[in-house]
Amino acid sequence: MRKSYWLFIVTLVFSPLAFGAVEDWSLAVMEALALFSLLLYLFRVRSSAQMPYYETPGIVPLLCFLVFILFQVLPLPAELVRILSPVSYDIYENGAGAAGRLAWIPLSLDPKATLS
């Protein structure tokens, strides 16, 4: 637990410094450190019977938020999008132009930005 704890502390100290950089390597290093710290912790918890998993407060709202994001990104039938979000449907319809009839479209106008 000590190694994963200190690795997580290093990640917390390094992350604000890395966000000042504009290179992709800084984000990759931060994500790799966080993942490695989590894997070390999970390995330690699994190998030791006395260390329980902690219940995270607020996990239900977090999961609801993630489901909401996925609902916006997943392609839905165009008629359902017309009912749920008429403005999004109009924008997709006007953007499709000569491409033809819309079949499946997401609610989000920019799915990549919605995911990030």
Q: Which residue is associated with the tokens 């190998």?
A: 47
Percent of the chain with pLDDT over 70: 86
Taking the alpha carbons of 92, 93, 96, 97 in that order, is the dihedral positive or negative?
negative
pLDDT at 18 over 50: yes
pLDDT at 53 over 80: no
- In this predicted model, what pLDDT tens digit does every residue of 88-115 receive, in sequence order? 888 888 876 545 567 888 888 888 888 8
Phi, psi of 22 (to 5 degrees): -105, 5
43 vs 64, more confident? 64
pTM: 0.53
Give the C-alpha separation, 71 to 75, whole Å. 8
Q: 65 pLDDT band (50/70/90 cuts)?
A: very high
- Map out the domains of the chain as residue ranges: 2-47, 69-115
